Amino acid sequence: MESAAGPMLYQKLQLLEPDLESEEEEEETAELLVLHPGEPQESSAKQGGGLPGAWARLVAALLLLAVGISLALSKLHTRGGSAGGLDSAAPWPSGHSHHPSVFHHGAVISPAAVCSRLGRELLVAGGNVVDAGVGAALCLAVVHPHATGLGARFWGLFHNGSSGNATALTPGLAQTLVPGVGLPAALPALQLLHAHFGCLPWPQLLEGPTTLAQQGFLVDASLARALAAQDTKGLCPLLCHADGTPLGVGTWATNPRLAAVLRNTTLTRTPDPSSNALLGLVASDLGLEVPSAGPMPTLEPALQLPMAQGVLFTTPSPSAGPELLALLEAALGSGTPSPAPCPPLPQAAGTPMSSVLAAVDSNGSVLLLTSSLNSSFGSRHLSPSTGVLLSNLVAGPAANAWACPLILHGSPDDTEADVLGLVASGIPVAARTMASTLLRHLAVLRSQQEPTESPSICGQGTLLQVAVHAEHAHVSSVPHGCCPFQGF
């Protein structure tokens, strides 16, 4: 928490309602056009000896009819142009358009299209980036059980566009229920983040994920690949056909037990893992007593590194954030940063399976979330009472080496300073790779003086980039198209 910097004031997004505004503009335009056509007609009547009143009214009526038809066609054209999908570059009421990954208000990018869409819906409903990001994370817990879930550990980095401060979400020390089976810590962490910075009611964030778990979701390519690479032991019947074969792309999956857990979570207001119903059910499945204490998540001021280009923020130990800052400080201290070569990657990476997402708004607020079960499908232990796959993360010095999200806030002397957020997954030697990526980005910034639309990364992992530039929200990913985004 940022007690030293005063209370965090994070305002709800001010949303544009194109339909309402366009209707108001039409009414104002119509009123102006009702008045003006009569004036020239009256003037011409005087010049020509007087036009009969009936003819004047007829001419005015024809002019109004023509204007009405023009406005109707214009509105149909605008709506027709935006019907091609949320990622299309449809013109806004002002008449200008953007690259499909640039938005006026905000956006969410994640590995699953349905979760990015859910995050966008929360933004449109009046939520902020924390609401959108937490809602998308809960959605991923349902549709991507191979990479994340309620059994995962979450690290987060939140930049408040109003204050310029950054806060880190830390999950607490990893703990195990039994050897090889981690204690679930996701819900307390996400609840804590939302309780301090979200603005929508907590139950509203759970509506979409609960519906997906109860009514079903389509298995996407990422989940199908992970299932095909595994034997089905421990995953059935949740993710298998009746004959024991894993579900494929486009097949339907449900998780009613998980839906019940999410539904019950709407009644929980305090992020206390020891009183978490999920923890009690999981312990019962394992034949254990409910642990007296669990990993307590915290909110802490983010680590900072002042630099010529602004201030860099990242997560504290035991994430890889301190290692990332040390690498960048050494590189920047040696002189003008230059494009750094990719570090040599180990032959057998053994990188923990992780998941990432990002939410951004045009006011400069950014939320980056990264989570992990350690291995694909974690411990492969499915809690039958909860539908949750538990992690196999254990405490250790390298347990969170996969976590080092970073945010660069441009020079505080610049009132319109850009904000850049980077978060990556599936990358060996994460801190070195992220340091190299940022240094190459800074080199591009110096040459182009604007955010790059094509970030690059070392290795075969996934990189999400969000940025705020010229009062617009930008999103992109590497590989291109790997992670669907939704915005408005």
Task: Quote the pLDDT of residue 130.
Answer: 98
Task: Quote the pLDDT of residue 230.
Answer: 85
Q: Is residue 241 part of a domain?
A: no
Q: Is residue 239 part of a domain?
A: no
Q: Is residue 246 part of a domain?
A: no
Average pLDDT over residues 197-204: 96
- Tell whether 61 and 111 lie within a shared domain: no
- Tell whether 129 and 74 lie within a shared domain: no
Q: How many CB atoms lie within 10 A of CB 461?
A: 23
Q: Is residue 236 part of a domain?
A: no
CA proximity to 136, closest of 390, 299, 297, 357: 357
Between 416 and 258, the more confident residue is: 258
Task: Quote the pLDDT of residue 80.
Answer: 35
Task: Quote the pLDDT of residue 279.
Answer: 85
- Tell whether 400 and 277 lie within a shared domain: yes
Q: Is the pTM of this model over 0.85?
A: no
Task: Quote the pLDDT of residue 380.
Answer: 93
Task: Quote the pLDDT of residue 277.
Answer: 77
Average pLDDT over residues 417-430: 87
Q: Is residue 89 part of a domain?
A: no
Q: Is residue 238 part of a domain?
A: no
- Tell whether 39 and 145 lie within a shared domain: no
Give the span between the Cα atoms of 401 and 320, in whole angstroms: 5
pLDDT-based confidence at residue 214 (cuts at 50, 70, 90):
very high
Q: How many CB atoms lie within 10 A of CB 85?
A: 9
Q: Is residue 445 part of a domain?
A: yes
Q: Is residue 449 part of a domain?
A: yes
Q: What is the pLDDT of residues 371-412, one digit of tens each?
A: 999 999 999 999 999 999 999 987 776 678 899 999 999 876
- Tell whether 40 and 123 lie within a shared domain: no
- Tell whether 22 and 130 lie within a shared domain: no
Q: What six digits make up the tokens of 348?
A: 């057998």
The DSSP element (H or E) to which 45 belongs, if any, is helix 18-47
Task: Quote the pLDDT of residue 245.
Answer: 94
| CB proximity list for 402: less than 8 A, separation 6 or greater | 320, 351, 352, 354, 370, 372, 425, 427, 430
Between 182 and 4, the more confident residue is: 182
The region of weakest confidence among 108-117, 288-297, 309-318 is 288-297
Average pLDDT over residues 437-453: 70
Q: What is the pLDDT of residues 338-371, one digit of tens each?
A: 555 666 655 444 567 899 999 999 999 999 999 9
Mean pLDDT of the chain: 79
Q: How many domains does the chain have?
A: 2
Give the span between the Cα atoms of 286 and 379, in whole angstroms: 13
Q: CB of 82 within 8 A of CB of 88?
A: yes
- Tell whether 205 and 62 lie within a shared domain: no
Give the span between the Cα atoms of 301 and 17, in whole angstroms: 35
The region of weakest confidence among 23-37, 44-58, 127-141, 358-372 is 23-37
Let me know the angle formed at the C-alpha of 60 by 56 and 63, rounded to the nearest 5 degrees.
Answer: 140
33 lies in which domain range?
18-44+51-78
Q: Is 442 exposed, middle or buried (0-12, 13-18, 19+ CB in 10 A)?
A: buried
Task: Quote the pLDDT of residue 228.
Answer: 94
- Tell whether 138 and 285 lie within a shared domain: yes
- Tell whether 152 and 57 lie within a shared domain: no
Task: Quote the pLDDT of residue 272.
Answer: 55
Q: Report cis status (omega within 30 of 0) of the bond before 352.
A: no
Average pLDDT over residues 411-434: 81
Q: What is the pLDDT of residues 260-280, one digit of tens each?
A: 999 998 886 655 554 567 888
- Tell whether 26 and 165 lie within a shared domain: no
In the predicted structure, residue 451 carries a pLDDT above the cut 70: no
| CB proximity list for 141: less than 8 A, separation 6 or greater | 148, 149, 150, 152, 186, 209, 258
Task: Determine the 3-state secondary structure of 273 from DSSP.
Answer: helix
The DSSP element (H or E) to which 369 belongs, if any, is strand 366-374
- Tell whether 180 and 325 lie within a shared domain: yes
Q: What six digits make up the tokens of 59?
A: 């001419």
Strand ranges in 112-258 using DSSP code E only, listed in sequence order: 153-159, 166-170, 176-178, 181-182, 217-218, 252-253
In the predicted structure, residue 295 carries a pLDDT above the cut 60: yes
- Tell whether 299 and 354 lie within a shared domain: yes
Q: What is the pLDDT of residues 114-169, one digit of tens each?
A: 999 999 999 999 999 999 999 999 999 999 999 999 999 999 999 999 999 999 99
